Each structure stands twice: as C-alpha cells, then as structure tokens.
C-alpha cells in the first residue's frame, strides 16, 4: 500500500463520517445537547407503525414542498428510512442537500434504531424493544 492509497482511504472514511451517522450517535448527540432535526421519510403507514421520538414525518415526495416551512435551515438534519435495505434515506438526504441543508443519513434506519433497543414513539405511546445482542451490548 502506498501513502497515496492511505491518504485516499483516510479521505474516504472521513467523508463517510461527514455525511453519515447511526442511531447510537444520534442518541449521543441529543444527550450532549446537540440541536438537530430528525426526519422520517417513510410512508404515513410506516411512521404510524413507530418512529424515532421527535422525528418530523416528511415523506420523500413532500420534501421539496415542505422542508422550508418545517425544517430549520440552520440546524443539522438527520434523515432515515426503514433500514439498510432501503435507500429512501439516501434519496431524502440528497433532496435536503439540494435545498442547502447540512444533512446526514442515519445508516441502519428505523430497523437498527429498534434493534438497538432505543425508545420509539407509536400511536399507543413510547416504548422500547429488547436489545438485539447482534447490534448492541445490553
């Protein structure tokens, strides 16, 4: 491996961390008082099934029409969709980026939020699932 290869690798991984986050980092940022806007880009049915507490629900096709009125431009935005098998969060992050937002994609999405045993909001209130030992230490 040459030093150029090493520099390229550093640039690649630093770039990923600039544009991606994960459920644990969102929780840590919130606990540290970092102000950010979390946006769920799934369908109304998906959002109703359960969502990250405090997340705004703006489906992909509504971002262009609703973002300016509902999402502060001066705060970082974290976008999520179902999970790693869904690229809706990538599409959502791209749409927010095109509108000038400082945006990150939450890798793992709602699936990994739930699997890590983090609190979710449903129509019945707030709840937690058991921690999946493959994703987090209990």
Q: What is the pLDDT along the chain (138 residues), one digit of tens a residue?
A: 566 689 999 999 999 999 999 999 999 999 999 999 999 999 999 999 999 999 999 999 999 999 999 999 999 999 999 999 999 999 999 999 999 999 999 999 999 999 999 999 998 999 888 899 888 765
CATH assignment of the domain containing 32: 3.40.250.10
Q: Considering the domain boundaries, does residue 116 fall inside one?
A: yes
86 is catalytic: no
Q: Determine, yes or no, domain membership for 9.
A: no
Beta strands in the chain (DSSP E): 20-21, 37-40, 56-57, 77-80, 103-106, 120-122, 125-127
Q: How, if at all, do strands 120-122 and 125-127 pair? A: antiparallel
| 120 touches 113 (CB < 8 A) | yes
* Rg (alpha carbons) of the chain, rounded to whole number: 16
Which one of 26, 63, 81, 106 is the catalytic residue? Answer: 81
Beta strand 125-127 with 56-57 is unpaired
In a domain, 56, yes or no: yes
**Residue 39 domain flag:** yes
**Tally of domains within the chain:** 1
Q: 1 lies in a domain?
A: no
Global confidence as pTM: 0.92
Residue 79 lies in a domain: yes
Tell me if 23 is assigned to some domain.
Answer: yes
User: How close are the terminal C-alpha atoms of the chain, in Å?
Assistant: 39
The answer to whether residue 136 sits within a structural domain is no
Domain that holds residue 34: 19-127
């Amino acid at each position: 491996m040459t030093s150029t290869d090493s520099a390229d690798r550093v640039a690649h991984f630093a770039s990923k961390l600039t544009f991606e986050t994960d459920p644990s980092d969102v929780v840590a940022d919130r606990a540290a008082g970092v102000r950010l806007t979390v946006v769920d880009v799934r369908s109304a049915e998906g959002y109703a099934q359960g969502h990250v507490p405090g997340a705004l629900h703006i489906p992909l096709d509504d971002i262009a029409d609703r973002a300016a009125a509902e999402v502060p431009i001066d705060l970082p935005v974290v976008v999520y969709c179902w999970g790693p098998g869904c690229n809706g969060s990538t599409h959502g992050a791209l749409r927010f980026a095109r509108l000038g937002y400082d945006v990150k994609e939450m890798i793992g999405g709602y699936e990994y939020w739930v699997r890590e045993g983090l609190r979710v909001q449903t129509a019945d209130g707030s709840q937690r699932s058991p921690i999946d030992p493959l994703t987090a230490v209990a």
